[in-house]
Amino acid sequence: MAGYSAIIVEAKNVDYYYPGEGENASPALSGVNLTVQQGEYVALIGPNGSGKTTLLKLFNALLTPTNGEVLVRGIPTTNEETLPEVRRTCGMIFQNPDNQLVATTVEEDIAFGLENLAISSAEIKRKVKETACLLGLERLLCQPPHLLSGGEKQRVAIAGILVMEPKCILMDEPTAMLDPAGCREVIETVRELNHRQNITVIHVTHFPEEAANADRVIVLNQGQLITSGPPEDILADIPMLHSLRLQGTAAVELAALLRKDGYPLPLKILHKRELVDSLCSLERKS
């Protein structure tokens, strides 16, 4: 892929069995091979139980593979001495920000991970302020996190990860608890960080509209990586998506219905704007 130069995370023939699931249990992940380049924005989609969260946890070394290898910047995640480095390289953001907020003020919360590093308190304060400004949280630094809105809480959780200067952000359904405006805020913030600072993003989502903004979409089913490609290919493949109980974007689904009714729409419609423009140009021609 043009513009990318270094592999940031890599799964090589990875199987993962949760412990205590018995010998005949099916694996949560099976034979997964995947490389993600520095600066890529990857969406990971798949039905419930397909292994998405498990794969993110392997990239963050919260889990280690049963078979195969996971490498973060070329370092195996099983290597105990480099575990802190792996965790700093790949910061993880969970669905529910409440589970990640631990301190009594937003400022302390963002600073939490930095406290374990050998840096002065003045430097910590500087970094926290800088990150808070980046995420539009500077007014909230003295607030208790539990009084914030869901979108604000998620931005604080993101700030707590970003302040550690990760190369990669792993997001597990980060907008699942947010209202539409909160979703937009979080997604736009992360996309901008990806563009401006070349931070890699691996984003697990059940929302096709979110996946449509990725550089690449990867599909998991029953622990296996079944396909991957640009959003306009993957999210327009309605038979594949429906067979997995998934769906395309609203524009993809509508365009498919309109084509069935005889509207000669182009195949690569992904976003609402493209559908509207295509319909308007048909209207003008007729």
Ligand X SMILES: Nc1ncnc2c1ncn2[C@@H]1O[C@H](COP(=O)(O)OP(=O)(O)OP(=O)(O)O)[C@@H](O)[C@H]1O
Site for ligand X (CB under 6 A): which residue of 30, 37, 50, 249? 50
How far is it, in rounded angstroms, from Cα 25 to Cα 68? 18
Identify the residue among 37, 53, 60, 278 touching Mg ion (CB under 5 A).
53
| DSSP percent split of the chain into helix, strand, coil, nearest 5 | 45, 20, 35
Residue 32's alpha-carbon distances to 16, 79, 176, 281, in angstroms, are 9, 20, 26, 43
List Cα–Cα distances, 283 to 163, 244, 273, in angstroms: 51, 35, 15
| Backbone φ/ψ region at 136: left (φ over 0), alpha (ψ -120 to 50), beta | left
175 contributes a contact to ligand X by CB under 6 A = no
Q: Which segments within the chain are labelled E, that is strand? A: 7-16, 29-37, 41-45, 67-72, 75-76, 90-93, 168-172, 200-204, 216-221, 224-229
Question: Which of residues 218 and 270 has its CB atom nearest to Mg ion in the complex?
Answer: 218
Q: Rounded CA gap, 250 and 247, in Å? A: 8
Q: Does residue 46 touch ligand X according to CB under 6 A?
A: yes
The structure tokens listed for 16 are: 């993962």
The secondary structure of residue 126, as a DSSP letter, is H
Point out which span in 47-55, 131-139, 175-183, 261-269 binds Mg ion (CB under 5 A): 47-55
- When the beta carbons of 21 and 179 are compared against ligand X, the nearer one is 21
52 near ligand X (CB under 6 A): yes
Q: Check residue 28 for interaction with ligand X (CB under 6 A).
A: yes
- Spatial strand order of the sheet with 75-76 comes to 29-37, 7-16, 67-72, 75-76
Q: Which residue is nearest to Mg ion (CB)?
A: 53
Instruction: Answer with the entry of Mg ion, ligand X, none that 51 interacts with (C-beta below 5 to 8 A by kind).
Output: ligand X
How many Cβ atoms from other residues are within 10 Å of residue 168's Cβ? 23
CB of 268 to Mg ion, least distance (A): 29
CB of 147 to ligand X, least distance (A): 28
Q: How far is the CB of 66 from ligand X (least distance, A)?
A: 12
Q: Among ligand X, Mg ion, none, what binds residue 48 when CB lies within 5 to 8 Å by partner kind? A: ligand X
Chain centroid, CA 160 distance in Å: 16
263 touches ligand X (CB under 6 A): no
Of the ranges 44-52, 182-190, 253-261, 272-280, which one interacts with ligand X (CB under 6 A)?
44-52
Does 18 contact ligand X by CB under 6 A? Answer: yes
136 binds, among Mg ion, ligand X, none (CB under 5 to 8 A by kind): none
Site residues for ligand X per CB under 6 A: 18, 21, 28, 46, 48-54
Residues at the contact surface with Mg ion, assessed by CB under 5 A: 53
